Structure 1
């Protein structure tokens, strides 16, 4: 008679939830930024992705001579703040009430 073996596998409950549910668990409350308010600065540690509910954001870097080099604009519905590194490579600044 063949021997039978029973195994029990414990799954992490995180794996049982949908990707959408996992993302929603980390959503932070809405924050408001006045015009010209820096949302994050170059060199700061990346902590969040940002989605614009209303307003507009410019992404830029500061040049050695003090000028701003704008690299992107983000408008309502767009997401920004994703970086491949652990720190931000650019500044993000609200252009209007955002």
Structure 2
């Protein structure tokens, strides 16, 4: 069966990253990728045809499923789980 398919517990071993990675939709994955690349949430949402409320709902759902409090932490978890590429380096503004 393909890597995208469903397998029973006997068919494969779940890796550590898979155990912490929730299922994400293609839109959620793309939003995470755009944010990881440094795009502001509103701009990323606009690219995905999401209004502000849609972006907030999507990000809140991702944070809840990843069990984190911030969008940055959700991006880091998504990267650690192999769902997205490496996040862009962020600088801290004072």
Same fold (TM over 0.5): no
TM-score normalised per structure 1: 0.25
TM-score normalised per structure 2: 0.25
Greater fraction of residues in helix: 2
